[in-house]
Amino acid sequence: MKKAPQPRISEAEWEVMKLFWPKAHLTAPEVVAKLKGHTAWHPPTIKTLLNRLLKKGALGYVKEGRSYRYYPRIQEQKCLRAEAESFLARFFGGSLTPMVAHFLGERSLSAKEITELRKLLKEKNHVP
């Protein structure tokens, strides 16, 4: 069976989704309150983002009286994986080597970061 593709979500939609993954169920007023002070978005903008996420299948909802309680329909890890794969494909032809080379050429690494990268590579290749 073919798995359903992850919905593509915008940067603004990511900000909204980040509220749901740890908390799970939130009402629109709760989302507005949590974003207040972190963004300059007005409540109608936030409600538009919630509606977009509903249409994309990233959020679901249950009706509670006169309000709706929204919940994530996609897992954070799956969404991160899909975004990372999309980024890699768009900018580096799907290959990790040019991406790593690019970032290593653009940034300097601390000794700790180099040690952590070596450890990750050893673990990936099961090298003692």
pLDDT of 77-94, one tens digit each? 888 888 888 888 999 998
Is the pLDDT at 3 greater than 70, yes or no? no
Specify the pTM.
0.73
User: With contact defined as beta carbons under 8 Å apart, do 58 and 42 qualify?
Assistant: no
Class of domain 11-72: mainly alpha
User: Domain 76-125, what fold?
Assistant: Penicillinase repressor fold (1.10.4040)
**Residue 27 to residues 58, 61, 73, Cα–Cα distance (Å):** 15, 9, 15
The domain spans of the chain are 11-72, 76-125
pLDDT tens per residue, range 5-64? 677 888 999 999 999 998 889 999 999 999 998 899 999 999 999 999 999 999 999 999
Percent of the chain with pLDDT over 90: 49
What span, in angstroms and rounded, lies between the C-alpha atoms of 12 and 50? Answer: 10
The yes-or-no answer to whether 11-72 and 76-125 have a common fold is no
What mean pLDDT is predicted for residues 96-123? 88
Per DSSP, the three-state class of 62 is strand
Work out the pLDDT band at 4, boundaries 50, 70, 90.
Answer: low
Whether residue 46 contacts residue 36, with contact meaning beta carbons closer than 8 Å, is answered with: no
Among 5, 1, 3, which residue's Cα sits nearest to residue 79? Answer: 5
Instruction: Give the strand pairing for 59-64 and 26-27.
Output: unpaired
Q: Contact 20/72 with Cβ under 8 angstroms?
A: yes
